[in-house]
Structure formats: C-alpha cells, structure tokens
Amino acid sequence: MSIVSKSDWDFLYSRQYNDVVWDNPKMINPTMDWLVGKGYLEKSCMTIMDYGGGTGKISDFIHRKYGHDVLLTDWSDAPLKFARENFPKLSVMQTSCPYDVKGKTFDLIVCLNVLTYLPPMVQIKFIKEFADLLNDKGKILISGLDKENEFLKKYPELTQDKTFINNLKQGIENIGLKIKDTDRYMAFNSMYEMDIAFRSFTIEKS
Ligand SMILES: C[S@@+](CC[C@H](N)C(=O)[O-])C[C@H]1O[C@@H](n2cnc3c(N)ncnc32)[C@H](O)[C@@H]1O
C-alpha cells in the first residue's frame, strides 16, 4: 500500500528529532509560516486533522496559536510517542487509513508531505476519504514535493515525486472534487543542504 514501509518510517525517526529532515526547524518553520499565510486557520473553534503529522510539531503550533482542536494522526510508533510525551493537549491517533477516524468530522484536513510516499491510486483513495470526513465548507490542504524541483533534478532516483502533481490533479477531478487553489512554498532540506520546493493543493467538495 505504501512506497515507504512503516518500519522504514520508524527507522527514519530513530534519531534526534531535529535531525529528522522534516522535523528540522529549517524545514518546519517555513512550512508553518506558509500554512499561517494561507489564512485558513483564522476562524474560531475549528476542528482540524493533521494526517500523517509525524511528531505533532505542526499540530501543536496550530493548537497553541489558534486554540483549535487538533487530531494528530500518523502511522509510525516513534513520532506518536514523542507527540504524546510532549504535546498532551493534542488528540493523537495511530492510523494508516483516513476512515479509521470515522465518527469524527473536520473543518480542515492538512496532509503535508505524506501522499508523495503513497502510490497514486492510494493517494486518490485517501483524498476521497478525507472529503467524506469534511464538515460543510471544509477544506483539504495537501502538499508534496514540487515537480519542478531543483532538488529532484539533482536526485532523479526520487522519481515517484515527479508524477505527483499530474496524478493528483487528474485523480481529484475524476472523483468529483474541486481544486480551489494551488500554491508553492520553499523549505530547507538539512540532509541535502538545499532549498526544496513544495506544491500544495487546496481541495473542496464541488
Ligand atoms: C515526511 S513525514 C511528514 C510529517 C509532517 N506531515 C510534516 O510535514 O512535518 C511523512 C509522515 O507520513 C507518515 N505516514 C506515511 N504513510 C502513512 C499512512 N498511510 N498513514 C498515516 N501516516 C503515514 C509517516 O509516518 C511520516 O510521519
């Protein structure tokens, strides 16, 4: 089901958290600045799911800055242990499928830098499940490595990311959802010591 296995994710997390690429402040701070800049968090009393949110640093930031209820989900054991120990105000759930949270609904679902690591058909399946978990006027905000990425030109072995945008656009429209906007943001990859670009999509039910 996944290109990167659960044990590999746990392995990737098995070091000091700031050394984990996407948990490094140079990656996570620009991501949070961009998320704030989108303006979607400004309403009061929102319910939010941070799907594949890892250690919960982004979830915790959203909760502290805006006071929203945030459900952090992830697949791996290690980051959730970190979240439970460090961010007791977050709801935390271990899951590998969005429908596992059934019974709950959300105003905003963020899924940042996760779908890239799943096969295209699973990406679309997850987005459809996200859509079913949305409240009226809810939004889904997803991101992944940008196709036009200098980083990918330098590391062509990461080819699974090159089809990310086209597959998503097509698949999203095929299941009757609407892309409200696309956007791009840059963050610093501490492992390769270079800025990398992310492409994001905001999705709404049509
Ligand atoms: C690159 S990290 C991104 C973490 C966080 N969203 C961020 O942007 O900082 C990808 C995360 O997706 C999680 N993940 C991968 N496949 C998943 C699945 N099927 N269900 C839930 N989480 C998954 C991994 O465990 C990992 O924490």
- Domain residue ranges of the chain, discontinuous segments joined by +: 6-205
Distance 75 CA to ligand 1 centre (A): 7
Distance 142 CA to ligand 1 centre (A): 12
Burial 9-22 (b: 16+ CB within 10 A, else e): beebbeeeeeebbb
Nearest alpha carbon to residue 201 among 188, 187, 182: 182
The whole-angstrom separation of Cα 26 and Cα 14 is: 19
| 6-205, CATH topology level | Rossmann fold (3.40.50)
User: What atom of ligand 1 comes closest to residue 122's alpha carbon?
Assistant: 19
**Cβ proximity of 45 and 68 under 8 Å:** yes
Distance 52 CA to ligand 1 centre (A): 4
How far lies 11's CA from each of 4, 5, 7, 8, 61, in Å? Answer: 11, 10, 6, 5, 25
Per-residue pLDDT at 162: 61
User: What atom of ligand 1 comes closest to residue 118's alpha carbon?
Assistant: 16
Per-residue pLDDT at 4: 84
The whole-angstrom separation of Cα 91 and Cα 69 is: 8
In the three-class reduction of DSSP (H, G, I as helix; E, B as strand; rest coil), residue 182 is classed as strand
Our measurement of the distance from residue 170's CA atom to the centroid of its chain's CA atoms, rounded to an integer in Å, reads 19
How far lies 109's CA from each of 20, 85, 128, 130, 146, in Å? Answer: 23, 23, 12, 7, 20
pLDDT tens series, the chain, 206 aa: 777 888 888 888 888 777 898 999 999 999 999 999 999 999 999 999 999 999 999 999 999 999 999 999 999 999 999 999 999 999 999 999 999 998 999 999 999 999 988 888 899 999 999 999 999 999 999 998 887 777 777 776 665 556 667 778 888 998 989 999 999 999 998 888 888 888 899 999 76
Per-residue pLDDT at 169: 84
- Ligand 1: residue whose CA is nearest its atom 27: 54
The model's pTM: 0.94
End-to-end Cα, the chain, rounded Å:
28
In the chain, the DSSP E strands lie at: 47-51, 69-74, 91-94, 106-112, 134-145, 177-189, 194-205
